[in-house]
Amino acid sequence: MEGERLASQARSSGLPAGGATGESPGVDAPLLGSSGSSALLQAEVLDLDEDEDDLEVFSKDASLMDMNSFSPMMPTSPLSMINQVKFEDEPDLKDLFITVDEPESHVTTIETFITYRIITKTSRGEFDSSEFEVRRRYQDFLWLKGKLEEAHPTLIIPPLPEKFIVKGMVERFNDDFIETRRKALQKFLNRIADHPTLTFNEDFKVFLTAQAWELSSHKKQGPGLLSRMGQTVRAVALSMRGVKSRPEEFMEMNNFIEIFSQKINLIDKISQRIYKEEREYSDEMKEYGPIHVLWSASEEDLVDSLRGVARCLDQCCKATEKRMSGLSEALLPAVHEYVLYSEMVMGVMKRRDQIQAELDSKVEALTYKKADTDLLIEEIGKLEDKVECANNALKADWERWKHNMQNDIKSAFTDMAEENIHYYEQCLATWESFLASQTDLHMEETSEDKPESH
């Protein structure tokens, strides 16, 4: 079977192994969002320019936040929320449920932006209430992600959906884009909630619970812009050194993630392409059935057969639409999340390398007696601890991530297979019933014909 245009294009243009945005000319590649500190820096710059006051925040009155009150809009039982949200770890231990919905457009003189409603339900003691409702915009999510990366540089932070999709976007905020983003944002928050360490992060709690002004003032408390900038410059210098002294297990990890990233990117493109082809097939099918109806208007004796075929074709067309929507519900977002995830992981590996490199550079300095020995030894001690912590954190998180990845991929593809089986079963049923009707009629007709011969 000869290679198809898609994959051979991707191969010849050479997908980058490392963390950079995977764009090649002529191939659909979404502009990948923040990954690594430099992109984060960009987002921060944007943040500082904006005025936070126009954030609409709806926060329920504390008096209504009663354990016994029932809101007709929201499902109150934790069990019903289990069905809504796919999570990774043991279902029984889940005590934090988050939904993201109700995208709303806000227009100001400076800009237009969307906010999403975030509802959190929890039984945890450290939360002041059992239910929270806040409104957040994409920038807020970016901020949260940045804080998490800062606090846990070698943990695999879940990815955020991209800032923009360059290709095929007519309007910055069309419905499909918003819906896709909403789902991804919900996934993002739930992944954090399910993470054994991240779930207790303070910034996360603030994100979920604070009102607009509270969030603004909290944001301003973090380490300043300049210090982060300083970190970035050093990071680049150190990263090369870090790669050389990388321990074996992290070498393996790195190899894996590089290849994984390539493959998942390809799979993402293939899946998007399949969706596109199915859409075009469905569009053509819409015209196919009606022609048979048109034809039946001029054929007295073939009306049944022609209309029957038309019905089948229309049913198959509907089945295709259903298959497509199944694809866009399950497979496409799952695969795309892992495209972004692989970027995150590569960023994490880099940060680990940088931490290692810091240690190595100090050790080297000691060897060459470049500075005050005692001070160096003390610093080295601290850095050694830091490296050990970082490595252990990463190792553990890596195992967890890999395990989840396997489950998620398995589940996504199993879903896709089921959608296809269901599609073919539906089509089969409709054609078989048409055939049955025709052969019955046929047998009736031939038994009528037999006595007469012209």
Partner 1 sequence: MEQAPRDPERQLQPAPLEPLGHPDAGLQAAVSEEAEGARDEGSGEGTMTENNFWLKKIEINVSEAEKRTGRNAMNMQETYTAYLIETRSVEHTDGQSVLTDSLWRRYSEFELLRNYLLVYYPHIVVPPLPEKRAEFVWHKLSADNMDPDFVERRRIGLENFLLRVASHPILCRDKIFYLFLTQEGNWKETVNETGFQLKADSRLKALNATFRVKNPDKRFTELKHYSDELQSVISHLLRVRARVADRLYGVYKVHGNYGRVFSEWSAIEKEMGDGLQSAGHHMDVYASSIDDILEDEEHYADQLKEYLFYAEALRAVCRKHELMQYDLEMAAQDLASKKQQCEELATGTVRTFSLKGMTTKLFGQETPEQREARIKVLEEQISEGEQQLKSKNLEGREFVKNAWADIERFKEQKNRDLKEALISYAVMQISMCKKGIQVWTNAKECFSKM
Candidate ranges 87-95, 144-152, 309-317, 383-391; the one touching partner 1 (CB under 8 A): 309-317
Output 3 or 125, the one with its CB closest to partner 1. 3
Residue 399 touching partner 1 (CB under 8 A): no
Beta carbon of residue 248, minimum distance to partner 1 (angstroms, whole number): 16
Which one of 53-61, 155-163, 228-236, 416-424 is the stretch in contact with partner 1 (CB under 8 A)?
Answer: 416-424
Neighbours of 454 (CB within 10 A): 2
Question: Counting contacts by CB under 8 A, is residue 434 touching partner 1?
Answer: yes
Question: With 0-12 CB in 10 A as exposed, 13-18 as middle and 19+ as buried, what is 350?
Answer: buried
Structure-token pair, residue 190? 């739930």
As measured in angstroms, the least distance from the Cβ of 297 to partner 1 is 8
Q: 312 or 345, CB closer to partner 1?
A: 312
Q: How far is CA 50 from CA 19, 55, 207, 387, in A?
A: 29, 11, 18, 37
Please give the order of strands across the beta sheet that includes 112-122: 96-107, 112-122, 131-137
User: Cα(112)–Cα(54) distance, rounded to whole angstroms?
Assistant: 11
DSSP annotation of 110? S
Q: Does 413 bind partner 1 (CB under 8 A)?
A: yes
Distance CA 398, CA 82 (A): 25
Which residue number, 142 or 339, has a Cβ lying nearer to partner 1? Answer: 339
Give the three-state DSSP class for 118. strand
Is the separation of the CB atoms in 282 and 317 below 8 Å?
A: yes
SS3 content of the chain, % helix, strand, coil (to 5): 65, 5, 25
Q: What minimum distance in Å lies between the beta carbon of 23 and partner 1?
A: 19
Continuous H helices in 297-372:
303-326, 332-367
Q: Which of 40, 148, 157, 427 binds partner 1 (CB under 8 A)?
A: 427
56 part of the interface to partner 1, by CB under 8 A: no
Cα–Cα distance measured from residue 350 to residue 334, given in angstroms and rounded to the nearest whole number: 24
Which CB atom, from 111 or from 252, has the smaller least distance to partner 1?
A: 252
Residue 127 or 275 having the CB closest to partner 1: 275
* Per-residue binder mask for partner 1 (CB under 8 A), 65-84, x = binder: --------------------
Chosen residue from 16, 57, 206, 295 binding partner 1 by CB under 8 A: 295
List, in order, residues 6 or more apart from 269 with CB less than 8 Å away: 6, 10, 27, 28, 29
- How many residues at the interface with partner 1, by CB under 8 A? 65
SS3 170: coil
Instruction: Judge contact between 386 and 360, C-beta under 8 A.
Output: no
- The contact pattern for partner 1, residues 250-289, with x = CB under 8 A and - = no contact, is -----xx--xx--x--xx--x--xx--xx-xx--xx-xx-
Which range in 24-32, 38-46, 96-104, 303-311 contacts partner 1 by CB under 8 A? Answer: 303-311
Q: Kindly list the residues in this chain that would bind partner 1 in the complex (CB under 8 A).
A: 1, 3-4, 6-7, 255-256, 259-260, 263, 266-267, 270, 273-274, 277-278, 280-281, 284-285, 287-288, 291-292, 294-295, 298-299, 301-302, 305-306, 308-309, 312, 316, 406, 409-410, 413-414, 417-418, 420-421, 423-425, 427-428, 431-432, 434-435, 438-439, 442-443, 445-446, 449-450, 453-454
